Amino acid sequence: MKKRIYTTLVALLAIVCSATAQSLTVQGIEAKAGEQATLTVNLSGATSMTALQFNLALPDGVTIAQGTPTLGTAANGHTLAVETLDNGDRLFVLYSMDLNTFRNGQLLSIPVTIGSNAKSGEGSLTTVRFATTEAVSNAGTDAKFNITVQEPAPEGFSNSKLYTLTCKRGALVMNADGTGLAAGQTRTDAPEADKRFAIITYNDAQYLYSPVQKQYLLSDGSFASRLGSPVTFDDTHPDGDYTYMLSMQNANGETITFNNNGKIVINDWNTPDDGNRWKIEPVADFDPAEALTLAAKQTCTVTYEVKFDGQVVATATKEVTIGDALPATPASLTNSYMTLTKYGTHPSKVTQDVTVQYTAIWNGPFQFSKNLASAKWYNMTIRGNYYVGKQESEPYYPKADAGDLLKTEAYHWAFGGNPYHVKLYNRSTGFTETLAKDGDNAVMRAGDYAWDLLPNADGFVLRETGTSYNCINQFGGNSGPLKFWDSAGSTTDDGSTFRVEEAQPLYDAIETLSSKQPAVDDANLYNLSGQRINRLQRGVIIRRHNGKSEKVLVK
């Protein structure tokens, strides 16, 4: 199919002289590739000019057509001579043997051809000179002009047709629940209706429309009951009948391409292959009236804001057709630990962009702490009864039998942040460190690290922000270390679920320490991080014997 290129050529050619105010202008033109168009040169300020010359340079793909340029009424009996220069530019000279002066108006019409390979670029009018009746030669000022090449819809795509789109790996097809796209390899039994799409041209752009769902495709691969995302059809990488590569722009303005690699994805893979070169065939007639009516509907944005302790802590948006009812609160803003209360005035129907505001009341299993002085401390378990503490070696291993370690600072936790993004502080480091993701481990690090909080059963899950599933998990089952599990099951697994209880009171201060030197064979010994030791260490250790624990100062 021959590619059409519409070209808008707008040029402003100005000549500034030392004694007069003559100027040349070239009217803008629009033409199709392979067809001729006309550059019309006009003259104004014609007083005593009798001769004029200039060089004309055109961008690649735009050439002077065969035929003779035509003189207009402003030429007033002048003769035109045109010569091709060594660099390919054309020299235009207008002169009068009778020294006739120019008039104002149309001076010259120059036929040009817009080639099929023409691209947007810049032309120029240079070496401008003119002569007066007094035989004085003056230099004019060079001028530049822009040529803009625009690509319209590929020929043959009609709003009144339905098409199948197929690459060598299979057909484009709606998925079974009608929410997005699937691939021919995975849905071979799809009805023919699910393989047919309209390519709707609206406001000089093309959109993919499902007549089954009566919705348009969006750049995230889903469909919506509003005008979707424009699709670009690129025919510069054909493979036989597989002519087109299809692409869109995402919300960040990045170009993403339709690919079939077992499932339909729209991503940044744009190397031509068997999964992204498409054959597009008309298969049935289509009445586009409903699709065009849907495209014409205007939408507006509903913004949802949640405040906690007077600060906006979460937002979400929805695109709504003007006149529709105000949508319900997005699920991303709701969970069982929060009560959201609207404040302010909100419309029942959306007629313009609107912000819906909420105040959040926290009903979760812990209290938030704003600073170290007023912090509320907790002992924290994972997988039901494995206590989590800060330990000297990494990764940290939750303990099923923490005993009197729960009375040490290393096993005391406080929570900062807000109901959506929480920060975990350990009493041994105060508020100078937070529990953070460092490689494969969840460990204490200096800084200000926050986690997504997801309620689960009678506890909560801590997920890495920006991911779908990557949650802190007692990895590998009972007795495993505190690592991560990046799987859909991690958001509900008991091995990812934390629970809290009010912290055990800390041991007394150093002056209450026993000075007895403990024997290794009559007690269980631990360091202050809760790790079992089998020999004495200088400093303070924990001695557990006959069901009792004490801190001991070893000298």
Measured between alpha carbons, how far is 207 from 96 in angstroms, rounded to an integer?
A: 58
Query: Would residue 281 count as lying in a domain?
Result: yes
Answer with the residue of higher pLDDT: 122 or 31: 122
Residues 173 and 230 grouped into a single domain? yes
**In degrees to the nearest 10, what's the CA dihedral of 290, 294, 296, 298?**
160
Distance CA 20, CA 43 (A): 13
**Token pair recorded at residue 8:** 């808008």
Going by pLDDT thresholds of 50, 70 and 90, the confidence category of residue 267 is confident
Whether residues 185 and 85 share a domain: the answer is no
Domain that residue 529 falls in: 510-554
On whether both 168 and 280 belong to a single domain, the answer is: yes
Domain end among 98, 121, 150: 150
The answer to whether residue 327 scores a pLDDT higher than 70 is yes
Beta bridge partners of 381: 387, 499
Distance in angstroms (rounded) separating the CA atoms of residues 230 and 228: 7
Q: What is the CATH number of the domain that holds 135?
A: 2.60.40.680
Question: To 10 degrees, the CA torsion angle through 362, 366, 370, 372?
Answer: 170
Please write the tens of the pLDDT for every residue from 331-349.
Answer: 889 988 999 999 988 888 8
Using CB atoms within 10 Å of the CB of residue 38, give its burial: 0 to 12 exposed, 13 to 18 middle, 19+ buried.
middle
The answer on 515 and 497 residing in a single domain is no
- Say what the pLDDT of residue 140 is: 72
Token readout for 278 is 């498409």
Q: Which phi and psi (to 5°) does residue 411 adopt?
A: -110, 15
Q: Which of 252, 270, 294 is where one domain is finished?
A: 294
To the nearest whole percent, how much of the chain has pLDDT over 70?
87
CATH number, domain of 262, equals 2.80.10.50
In a domain, 139, yes or no: yes
Distant-in-sequence contacts of 345-349, Cβ < 8 A, 24+ apart: 349/323, 349/324, 349/325
Q: Is the pLDDT at 13 greater than 80, yes or no?
A: no
Question: Could you tell me what percentage of the chain is helix, strand and coil, using 3-state DSSP and rounding each to the nearest 5?
Answer: 5, 50, 45
Contact residues for 519 (Cβ-Cβ < 8 A; gap 6+): none
Structure tokens at 115: 């080639």
* CB neighbour list of residue 152: distance below 8 Å, 6 or more residues apart: 4, 6, 204
Going by pLDDT thresholds of 50, 70 and 90, the confidence category of residue 521 is low
Residue 155 lies in a domain: no
Report yes or no on 373 lying in a domain.
no
CA distance 129 to 141: 9
Whether 339 and 415 share a structural domain = no
**In this structure, is residue 370 part of a structural domain?**
no
Q: How many structural domains compose the chain?
A: 5
Nearest residue to 420 via CA among 457, 374, 463: 463
Here the tokens at position 416 are 């900062």
CB 172 within 8 A of CB 34: no
User: What SS3 string covers 91-130?
Assistant: EEEEECCCCCCCCCEEEEEEEEEECCCCCCEEEEEEEEEE
Domain contains 389: yes
Please report, in angstroms and rounded to a whole number, the separation of the first and last CA atoms in the chain: 91
Dihedral angle, C-alpha 304, 306, 311, 317, nearest 10 °: -30
Kind and range of the H or E run holding 290: helix 289-296
Same domain, 124 and 13: yes
- Confidence band, pLDDT 50/70/90 cuts, at residue 509: very low
Does residue 368 form part of some domain? no
Read off the tokens for 149. 């090449």
The stretch 377-393 carries a mean pLDDT of: 94
Overall average pLDDT of the 63-67 stretch: 80
- Segment among 96-105, 192-201, 263-272, 478-487 with least mean pLDDT: 263-272
Look at residue 149 in the predicted model and tell me its pLDDT: 66
Same domain, 472 and 535: no
Q: What is the pLDDT of residue 9?
A: 28
Angle made by CA atoms 354, 355, 356, in degrees to the nearest 5: 120
> Do residues 347 and 323 both lie within one domain?
yes
Is residue 308 domain-resident?
yes
Q: What is the mean pLDDT of residues 270-293?
A: 90
Burial 239-267 (b: 16+ CB within 10 A, else e): eeebbbbbbbeeeeeeebbbbbeebbbbe
My answer on whether 258 and 306 are in the same domain is: no
Do 33 and 175 meet the contact criterion of CB atoms below 8 Å apart?
no
Residue type (1 letter), 239: D
Q: Residue 515, by phi and psi: left (phi above 0), alpha (psi -120 to 50) or beta?
A: alpha
In this prediction, residue 2 carries a pLDDT of 32
The helix/strand/coil state of 296 is helix
Compute the Cα dihedral for 441, 443, 449, 455 and give only its sign. positive
Q: What is the DSSP string of 168-205?
A: TTEEEEE-TTSSBEEETTT-TT--GGGG-EEEEEETTE
Burial of 95: CB neighbours in 10 Å, binned 0-12, 13-18, 19+: middle
Residue 228 DSSP SS3: coil
Question: Average of pLDDT values for 527-555?
Answer: 72
Contact partners, residue 295, CB within 8 Å, separation at least 6: 200, 202, 207, 216, 227
CA distance 400 to 381: 9
Is 411 found in the same domain as 328? no
- CB of 417 within 8 A of CB of 368? yes
Query: Do residues 214 and 329 share a domain?
Result: no
CB-count exposure of residue 442 (10 Å: 0-12, 13-18, 19+): buried
Determine which of 171-185, 383-397, 500-514 has the lowest per-residue pLDDT on average.
500-514
Q: At which of 269, 294, 319 does a domain end?
A: 294
Say how far apart CA 512 and CA 529 lie, in whole Å.
19
Same domain, 326 and 389: no
d(C-alpha 151, C-alpha 247), whole Å:
15
